[in-house]
Amino acid sequence: KRILVIHGPNLNMLGKREPEHYGSQSLGAIDRSIKDRARELGVEVSAFQSNHEGELVEAIQAAVGQIDGLIINPAAFTHTSVAIRDAVLLLDVPVVEVHLSNIHKREPFRHHSYIADVATAQITGLGPAGYIYALEALAEMIA
């Protein structure tokens, strides 16, 4: 079983970026812990980060028919991108939206997600562990 993890803009700066919201772990460290857990669960994980909306759309398009589940943190594009939402709708596999911070506790413009109602579930506010919970849930759903 194959799971794709997609990270949106500015998540490449994790560790240095607003640690009060996003913690001190780097994206590399988060991806390593996702892959370690994936190995234990017997699923294959690949991870992709981009700061460009079109590249994120293309990564989702390229995954159509190739993956069994998607974990996506669209970052700022969560709140703006109909294009990423439409790309997610191309997939017929479970999708878990993840946010490190609790978007509902923050500025009002972060409360709306264009992805939430086309995703299977949303995990928000649990930090990097949210990706692990998303992976565990997907692994069980697609077993």
- Which residues line the annotated binding site for substrate? 73, 79, 86, 100-101, 110
Reply yes or no on whether 99 is catalytic: yes
Dump the DSSP string for 68-136: SEEEEE-GGGGGT-HHHHHHHTT--S-EEEEESS-GGGS-GGGT--SSGGGSSEEEESSTTHHHHHHHH
**Shortest Å, Cβ 65 to ligand DQA:** 27
**Shortest Å, Cβ 49 to ligand DQA:** 11
Give me the residue whose beta carbon is nearest to ligand DQA: 75
22, 52, 112, 114: the catalytic one is 22
- In total, the chain counts a number of residues equal to 143
Nearer to ligand DQA, 55 or 68 (CB): 55
Which residue ranges make up the site for ligand DQA (CB under 6 A)? 10, 73, 75-76, 78, 99-101, 103, 110
Distances (CA, A) of 30 to 9, 33, 65, 131: 15, 5, 26, 8
Residue 66 carries which DSSP code? Answer: T
Return phi, psi of residue 50, to 5°: -150, 150
Nearer to ligand DQA, 76 or 116 (CB): 76
99, 104, 112, 114: the catalytic one is 99
**Shortest Å, Cβ 52 to ligand DQA:** 14
Annotated catalytic residues are 22, 99
